[in-house]
Homo-oligomer: A and B are copies of this chain.
């Protein structure tokens, strides 16, 4: 053992994930590239400001979290599955496929079922 391994894509993503799901948006954003592209259900978010605004709209609704899987796919990609808990549901899965370059997240392919997170009784 001569040196610590470099920060992996999985390290970057898990750090990001832990930060935003604990409400620390500033720390989460240190792991996100300025030119991030996020493909979310029904909309694409381009750039860090748009991405932060999107995430900041959801984060306050989070009441808990059940992590299911977090796995590297080669050197540059990471796959996450988890159950975000909100007042509406704790059984609606979310999945993300991240691309990491130079230690920052440059792409996030995000999937969740919007209907499952709608408030009860919403049309």
Partner-B contacts on A (CB < 8 A): 39, 41-42, 68-69, 71, 73, 77, 79, 81, 91-95, 97, 109-116
CA A112 – CA B114 in complex, angstroms? 9
Q: Give every chain B residue within 8 A of A113 (Cβ-Cβ).
A: 41-42, 111-115
**Chain A interface SS verdict (over half):** strand
Q: A73-B69, A95-B95 are in contact. Are A41 and B115 (CB under 8 A)?
A: yes
CA A110 – CA B116 in complex, angstroms? 13
Cross-chain contact A68 with B109 (CB below 8 angstroms)? yes
Q: A41-B92, A112-B111 are in contact. Are A77 and B69 (CB under 8 A)?
A: yes
Expressed in whole angstroms, the minimum distance between the Cβ of A119 and any Cβ of chain B is 15
